[in-house]
Amino acid sequence: MRILITGGAGFIGSHIADALVAAGHSVVLLDVLLPQAHGGAEVPSWLDGHEVVLGDVRDRVVLDRVLPGVDAVCHQAAMVGHGLYPSDGPDYTSVNDYGTAVLLAAMHAHGVGRLVLASSMVVYGEGRYVCPTHHGVAAAPRLADDLAAGRFDPLCPLCGKALTPGLVPEDAALDPRSTYAASKVAQEHLAGAWARQTGGRVWALRYHNVYGPRMPRDTPYAGVASIFRSALERGEAPEVMEDGRQRRDFVHVSDVARVNVLALESLLSTEAPSPAAGLRTAINVCSGQPHTVGELAETLAAAMDGPPPRVVGGARPGDVRHIVADPSRATELLGFRAAVSFADGIDEFARAPLRASATRP
């Protein structure tokens, strides 16, 4: 089949392109080369051999040129990161939400009814927690005074007792706590509305902390693994916020590429599980093996023979304490299990090529 990958020159999109071609599919990559994800305006050398179109997913003229003959779309194009500045808001909603709306309208016009959407763990906000008295509870947003005093773990909103973090399933309530998170929730809802209106099929893949070769370096919009590695390359100690005990699920980009292939192939198969017509099905994309942010920094520093991490406390507005996913739905519906262990993945990442320095727009 022929797949359009939006954001195809990006960190994750380029790996998906390689995996699809290896599986015998044809791909066309659309990318505008946003400066915060790419060090410059040149197409990366690792895309040699791929069909690459330079253009904006918000440009209907470009979409009308690349969609004919396409069987499905893998929508990776997005402005990523936490949303560091209030001025970022218009860019996030324009690129992520307006861009998705333009893409969906063009897909409908060209009769393309199959979509794999890159979503994110950030749609959940805080992870799932259990109170010894009240059982499953929703953690309230953490207060600035508590964070400043080093009280990082959320408490039960009903009794104030300490909570135990658990695994977040896909049916958990959505609670975005940053500009980026809000834009990803909107993308999922736009795709769901499109599916119901058109009878299309959508997998919404909720990526957890993706890391691996080709991440952009030296940018606050990148993931924490890239931020730590960039510091170590400069000979500096990685700076770990809070107390370093915040739990995350780190998943290697090769596993993320593989689950995208599985999702795309299921959309065109008459035998494999697929979202019913007019439905959006969300899937956690994770390793199923939680690690702390401090452990990531320590493991990466050791692999690079760099200075040990420095715990600096504090937290950015909208940061969550723990977010670890339940991987069972991906296994049940797509047969996906992460194959790259944390130890092996970080050891490879310590030496893997990164992109040139990116810049703030």
CATH of the domain at 19: 3.40.50.720
Give pLDDT tens digits for 188-226. Answer: 999 999 999 999 999 999 999 999 999 988 766 678 999
In a domain, 112, yes or no: yes
Q: What is the pLDDT of residues 315-335, one digit of tens each?
A: 887 789 999 999 999 999 999
Containing structural domain, residue 21: 2-128+166-351
Q: Is position 251 within any domain?
A: yes
Phi-psi region of 75 (alpha: psi -120 to 50; beta: other; left: phi over 0): beta
CA distance 230 to 358: 11
Note if the pTM is more than 0.85: yes
Decide if 181 is inside a domain.
yes
Q: Count CB atoms within 10 A of the CB of residue 280.
A: 22
Is 119 within a domain? Answer: yes
**pLDDT attached to residue 36:** 64
The answer as to whether 150 is a domain residue is: no
Split at pLDDT 50, 70, 90, the class of 296 is very high
Q: Number of structural domains, the chain?
A: 1
Contact 109, 101 (CB under 8 A): no
pLDDT at 360: 45
3-class SS of residue 285: strand
pLDDT of 78: 94
